[in-house]
Structure 1
Amino acid sequence: MTTLGAVFRPQLAPERLRPLVRAAEEAGLEELWLWEDCFLESGIAAASAALAWTERLHVGVGLLPVPLRNVALTSMEAATLHRLFPGRVTLAVGHGVQDWMAQVGVRPASPLTLLREYLDAMRALLRGEQVTADGQYVRLDKVALDWPPAGVPQVLAGGVGPRTLRLSGESADGTVLDASASPDGVRRARLLIEEGRAAAGRTARGRHKVVVYLLTATGAGAADRLRAELVREGRESVPDLGVAGDAGAVARAVQQLADAGADTVVLQPTADEPDPEGFVRFVAGEVRALVPRAAQSAAG
């Protein structure tokens, strides 16, 4: 099944979240994804509000930067959200932007080591285990959550580079790929993730979920807005990156990512999207109608 979502970009003021969330709920959007980008908005605070304002909408946070957050705190917040809103939350953790981490004095010498230690500790805490760890970065002394989730939730990792993608396969339950991933990039990521899973002996545990952002522009000036954002990000030369056009064009781009191995495709509006509420209605209504819910991934 191809799940379809949309992003609330934190370039929008926090007070813009409620009307967009209500529009998403009313339109039947499956998933709304939030970012914890420095120094814009808190992913956990925004997720909690979005979940409280809705009854059905699934909310993802992709991603929470691990250098910025003690693993015990993140696990407490995750457990609270999963108990308050069971089945409606997905959280991803990752390196964060290293320049931002340096600005607040938490840039690690080894981001990979930190992420590995963090994933191992967080997943154990959310399983209800008592954790003692004396790692390079994660140090816990008999820490256990008093209110672990009723079920064991998935913890996803954000990844771009080969080593991080292999690590995600080894230690996470799923992977979030940013909007720099073309269909070929998704295929390559799947291979690297599976290498990590094989190395950790995890290939028998079922499918590793892959979430992919797709930079999307629609309506008046869509092609120009998409091109401008790709130029700002230095990605204008990457083939098959982003999509501009009507619902048919967007649905075809979604299907290409699904065929490459994406389980969830999250449409990411441009930073200057003129109608954010209209964008989520477009995704939930027009695009959803054209994307098969039972699309099969070629990556299997």
Structure 2
Amino acid sequence: MLRLAVTTDAETFERVREPLAERGIEVAHVRAKERALRVSGGAERGSVSVSASGPGEFDGFDVGLVYPTRLMEGAVVAERLGVPWVNGRDAVVTSRNKAGVLAALDAAGLPTPRTAMVSNPVDESVVVDAVSGFSYPVIVKPNSATRGVGVATASDLDSLLGVVDYLNLIHDYRATGDKSYLVQEFLPDARDYRAMVVDGGYAGAVRRELDADALAAGRWKHNVHRGATARGVDLDPEARDLAERAADTLGIDYLGVDLLATDDRLVVNETNARPTVDVATKYEPDFYDRLAALIRRTADESNRANGV
């Protein structure tokens, strides 16, 4: 039986554990953040040292699902595990860069929202020029954040510059690694979908929706972590194809693709190489068969490369 390391949140871990066990893959959670990790022994090789990581904690794994979200901690955890990843560091870094994803998809001829990236620090005039062709309201979002963190709308130039002032304050801190943000066209009536692609093929989708009370209160973000509800849907062939083409363009085997659909447009809004797994009934019947096959192939390819 293969042993799979899962560093994603408890929700995903609990959902994948039993279905993958039924397919001969033992799943164990590896905590990669908000803890102490041994980096080096501080003694002669082979000697025993006191460690913040439990003995054998990282031993016995054959493959990992997705690289840890925090890259600094991830480097230590990945070294300790010493396994191939279904989605490795490169896949996570690629998907996290929203502007880079949209640029790659646009270059490949895939439809995306009109978007400009601003790299701080810049003069106010640069921001004004960047949005000169946009209609208000617009979306302003950090380039690297997830779960809708820091995403705002601006109804006119003054409110946009007010949001930018706030970003400038945040970006002044030297510890802020990514100092870029996006200004993007707002599609207020768009339907919001998360399509899952596994090993190049569409594997199911959910539609993310706010309830009537949230909409009446003026809320518009459809992130599940912000209170939206995700229900399983059957996407049409055009949307399925677009999700598959996005994953192929980025070269990522296991990918959540966020689609926005209006009456006359279908666009890729973002991607996620560390997608939360929903309940199995919201995906295609063979979702876990295909995921298990991808996990096994990742382990097998690594073994062949290492002559095992």
Q: TM-score scaled to structure 1, two decimals?
A: 0.31
Greater strand share, structure number: 2
Between structures 1 and 2, the one with greater helix share: 1
From the CA coordinates, give the structure whose radius of gyration is larger: 2
Scaled by the length of structure 2, the TM-score of the pair is: 0.31
